[in-house]
Chain A
Amino acid sequence: DAKTTQPTSMDCAEGRAANLPCNHSTISGNEYVYWYRQIHSQGPQYIIHGLKNNETNEMASLIITEDRKSSTLILPHATLRDTAVYYCIVRVKNAGNMLTFGGGTRLMVKP
């Protein structure tokens, strides 16, 4: 699986959009971009995934650049409960494939 690079930490004001970047310049054509988050002392929570088109669900939006070498996760209106470590992972979409977690971005949402 391709490696990803994320900033170590970010701050965001409550109610504003949080934009979390991820670089995955060595991504292969069949690899998807996944985002998970982990709130302190809990298991990771799936947020969203995509291949090349932008995706949106009730939690977030995922913007993938045309060359697929980077992506941005957008939380449109961050709340204090969105404070967590956000992991960007690229992998082939297959039930048997493990997830390789990097360091992630520690997002702190401040009042």
Chain B
Amino acid sequence: GAVVSQHPSWVICKSGTSVKIECRSLDFQATTMFWYRQFPKQSLMLMATSNEGSKATYEQGVEKDKFLINHASLTLSTLTVTSAHPEDSSFYICSASGLAGGPTDEQFFGPGTRLTVL
């Protein structure tokens, strides 16, 4: 159990376009979802935390108008990279956790989405 999926697994887009990445918890209700970014040979950096039905909390230095996060349901969160540029090329990873005290209150990670902006 506790499976998190991401779609797409990889995407290539032109500079200036927007890209949407989906993160789904397949077998549990995710009250909190996290979005991370990972550049080559670096560690994961948290971008934002979102709770279902409320606005995301962004980490310092992450532009909320560029990285739009929607957590409209307990099983789906989306990250939209607006007006993508080559420097946004990265590996984007989501994680999800369920109800505190329950079997899914730890973080479970998706497989990641590799974004390449040309």
Binding site for B on A (CB under 8 A): 36, 38, 41-46, 49, 87, 93-96, 98-104
Contact = CB atoms under 8 A, between A and B. Distances in A.
Contacts, number: 59
A interface: dominant SS: loop
11 contacts: A38-B44, A41-B112, A43-B6, A43-B93, A43-B95, A44-B109, A96-B49, A96-B51, A98-B34, A99-B46, A101-B36
Interface stretch (B13-21, B65-73, B76-84, B96-104): B96-104
Interface of B: 4, 6, 31-32, 34, 36, 43-46, 49, 51, 91, 93, 95, 97-100, 105-112, 114
Contacts of B91: 41
A95 B105 contact: yes
Contacts of B93: 43-44
Given A95-B32, A98-B46, A100-B46, A42 B112 contact: yes
Contacts of A101: 36, 43-45
B108 A46 contact: yes
Contacts of A38: 44
Given A44-B93, A96-B100, A102 B111 contact: no
Nearest to A96: B32
A104 B43 contact: yes
Q: Which 3 A-B pairs have the closest CB atoms?
A: A43-B109, A95-B105, A101-B44
